[in-house]
Structure 1
Amino acid sequence: MSASVPLSADLTGASRVGALRDVAILMPAYNGQADVERTLASFSEDAPVYALIVDDGSTPPIVAPAIANMSIEVLRMPQNGGIERALQTGIDALAERGFRYAARIDAGDLTVPHRLAKQRAHLEAHPQVAGLGMWTQVVTRDGTPVFMLSPPADPQAIRRIRFLRGCFVHPSMMLRIDAVRAVGNYRAAYRSAEDLDLFLRLMERYECANLAELGLYYELNEGGISATKRHQQIASTLKLQLHYFNAANVYDWLGLAKNLLHFLMPYSVLQRIKRTLFAARAHG
């Protein structure tokens, strides 16, 4: 693979300065140059920001945009190998560059102002927390709100209901890089469920939590993994549920039943049900 740093400001190594000197944005990307640019431009912080794009074999290759107050590096994978390998490579690269925190985001999603500073401050104050997410507004391609994802904040509540509902929105997470590597990094053992696999391993040794405030606008993408690789994702999730299954936890039973139902239900029907339920909750 090859790497390029297109901007004159080098925020790697000892030259990094400012409150976010140990934080890096981590974005895997496969094509979608315009989405990459729009997503990175949405970051608004009071300190310089470094971003690492892992270009997973895009054609043409992703080009780092010029964005004020941001230094952008592109790591180019020799060929498309999937998000699991791209994230694993990105985490290792950030560790080599001396970063402590990796802030995940995907091309097409938008962030709220000062997200990085808020997450870093929480992680600094809670050293036992290895992964920190935020609430997320799901939107259509044109920005129309669809529903809000507001998972629990408390690590113990998350442990109880980890399989009953999605407790983390992956692109909203900030991760401790040393903790991620200590549990084996991202891996391809559970295709399309690499995030849940990582979070479950993190929670064996650390805590994972959420900030109970909006941090991300997540674009509902009909071409994303949840839609195009849905059965693979569900199959991987079922394997994880069985591996970590706790028969004494009623929520593990409910989560298993829910996931089996998802396997049988068409994606379009599931999305309609989600919209209805979240709309009812918002007006309840």
Structure 2
Amino acid sequence: MTTLEARATPHNSLADVTVLMPAYNAQADVERTLASFDEPATVRVIIVDDGSVPPIVAPELPNVAVDILRMPKNGGIERALEAGIEALAARGCKYAARIDAGDLAAPGRLFKQRAYLEAHPNVAGVGMWTQVVSLEGKPLFLLKPAAAPEDVRRLRFFRTQLVHPAMMLRVDAVRAVGSYRATYKAAEDLDLFVRLMERYDCANLPELGLYYEINEGGISATKRRRQVVSTLKLQLRYFSALNVYDWLGLLKNLLHLVTPYTLLQRMKAALFAKRA
């Protein structure tokens, strides 16, 4: 593995940013995702290959520098992300920009998020609006979470406020709160965000940053019940009786336990279509 330069210069304002992408048996998706980045400087990427067979190969793309961290065996996204964060910390990388194989980045996403974090030192993570699309690329609905940290914190259990693959995170802040962990299976992102918001702020830029592909073979589909149960455990662990949105979020996730996944996706699409 080569060492990525982590010190920003006037000629490369993304030198302290690295895209963190876990991947498992997804070579074509990895190539498509990395090809979507359109930034004013070199995009640095670390792919955490979580035991793929055959192993993920780094694509050769203009203005994209790719390293691969290979896990000895498939251990799950939580361990892959934790290993990725530790690798970035060892290199002195300041910011980790998340994205998943199969998703596409909007132009200038990294540049905008880094500028926001540089201007807001108490913000540990910043997300962006996300266009949800089908596997065929058909727009389904647009996620427009709250921008202000106080709103993100207040609504954290009611509706998705921080879309994980659209986030840029401070590496030191992630490590300070215990990094990614497998305590809440399939909800490792919400677990991290809740812990971050106990010590820092999290926010969103109110503009499009990501095209998120709904994959029926992804975590949200294949491990949905586990994800909902883990989310409910997190809600109970951090529940605030004075926050009406915590009550509403609890009710919402109880309903998710008995709602078929396909029906839930149709309901979401109909809801967001009315707001568009």
What letter matches 2:22 in structure 1?
A: P
The answer to whether structure 1 residue 127 and structure 2 residue 117 are counterparts is no
How far apart in 1 are the matches of 2:231 and 2:132? Answer: 22
Aligned to 1:99, which of 93, 98, 119?
93
| Alpha-carbon distance in structure 2 between the residues aligned to 1:195 and 1:43 | 23
Look up the equivalent residue of 2:175 and give its one-letter code: R
Aligned counterpart, 1:141: 135
- Structure 1 counterpart of 2:263: 269
2:126 & 2:7 partners in 1: Cα distance?
Answer: 26
* 3-state secondary structure, aligned to 2:131: strand
With over 3 angstroms needed to count, the CA separation of the structure-2 counterparts of 1:67 and 1:256, relative to structure 1, is same
Find the counterpart in structure 2 of residue 233 from structure 1: 227
Return 175-184 or 63-72, whichever deviates more.
63-72
Quote the offset at 1:14 in angstroms. 6.0
* Partner residue in 1 for 2:238: 244
Cα distance change on mapping 1:144 and 1:78 into 2, 3 Å: same
Residue 42 of structure 2 corresponds to which residue in structure 1? 48
Specify the alignment match of 1:182 in structure 2: 176
Residue in 2 aligned with 1:258?
252
Matched, 1:39 2:27: no
Q: Residue 59 of structure 2 aligns with which residue?
A: 65
Q: Does residue 221 in structure 1 map to residue 191 in structure 2?
A: no
Gaps of 5+ in 1: none
Report the TM-score when normalising by structure 2: 0.97
Give the SS at the match of 2:13: coil
- Shift, 1:64, TM fit: 0.3
1:78 CA drift (Å)? 0.4
Residues 46 and 15 (structure 1), Cα distance of their counterparts in 2 relative to 1, 3 Å cut: closer
Deviation (angstroms), 1:159: 1.4
- The residue identity in structure 2 corresponding to 1:132 is V
Does 2:9 match 1:12? no
Q: Structure 1, residues 5-54: CA drift from partner, whole Å, max 9, x if none?
A: 4xxxx633569861111000000000110000000010111111210000
1:131-170 maps to which residues of 2 (within 5 A)? 131-170=125-164
Deviation per CA, 1:121-143: give whole Å up to 9, x if none. Answer: 00000001001000000011121
What is the number of equivalent residue pairs in this alignment? 275
Q: TM-score, normalised by structure 1?
A: 0.95
Give the deviation of 1:205 after TM superposition.
0.2
Contact 2:7–2:15, Cα closer than 8 Å, also in 1? no
- Alpha-carbon distance in 2 for matches of 1:90, 1:244: 27
Give SS of 1:62's match. coil
Q: Which runs of 5+ in 2 are unaligned?
A: none
Could you tell me whether the CA contact under 8 Å between 2:6 and 2:94 is conserved in 1? Answer: no
Cα RMSD, aligned residues only? 1.2
Tell me the secondary structure at the aligned position of residue 137 of structure 1. strand
